Amino acid sequence: MRGLMLASLCLVAACSGGEEKKAEDTAAAPAAPGAGQWETTFETTAFRSTDGKTPAVKAAVGDKVTGAACVAAGEESKPAPALLVGEGYDCTYSTSYIKEGRVNAQLSCKREGVSGDIQMSVSGTSTADSFEGTVDTNSYLPGDGDFSMSRKVVAKRTGPACQAAPAKAA
């Protein structure tokens, strides 16, 4: 009789708490970044001139920049480049693998005031509500100012719908 009661208690203990664990696992399951509004933070972890001249962009190790990005519904596997590389760049994907929580992408970018190509390689992990990774950048400019930069990016989804961009002054 005592053995039967002990076995019953063990079964009850083994079954309890499963719903909480399942909810936690679902919330942080690896996935492509979800559609909606995102807040991004980029921190420069390395920066140097690659041609011995003054770099074409201003940055210093430790610089932090926050921004926003919108991931449109249906574009989760190729989100707006601002999510991965930050604001102020006009980028196109060269290659990308953004699936099941893994983010690996190469982007070819331009930046106002800088003539030439800026190549960025992004690697990291994501859930529907978060993204963490590194962005390695190298410039290939026709004149002086080539640079190499590494940044850490942390992003979180702040809402399911994108916010309207502020109107630009005429």
The domains of the chain are located at 34-159
Global confidence as pTM: 0.80
The string of pLDDT tens digits covering residues 85-99 is 999 999 999 999 999
Fold annotation for 34-159: Porin (2.40.160)
Cβ neighbours around 91 below 10 Å, total? 20
Mean pLDDT, rounded, of the chain: 88
Give me the pLDDT at residue 163, please.
Answer: 84
Dist CA 20 CA 115 (whole Å): 53
pLDDT tens digits along 111-147: 999 999 999 999 999 999 999 999 999 999 999 999 9
Please give the angle made by the CA atoms of 100, 104 and 110, to the nearest 5 degrees.
135
Q: Which residue has the higher pLDDT, 128 or 22?
A: 128
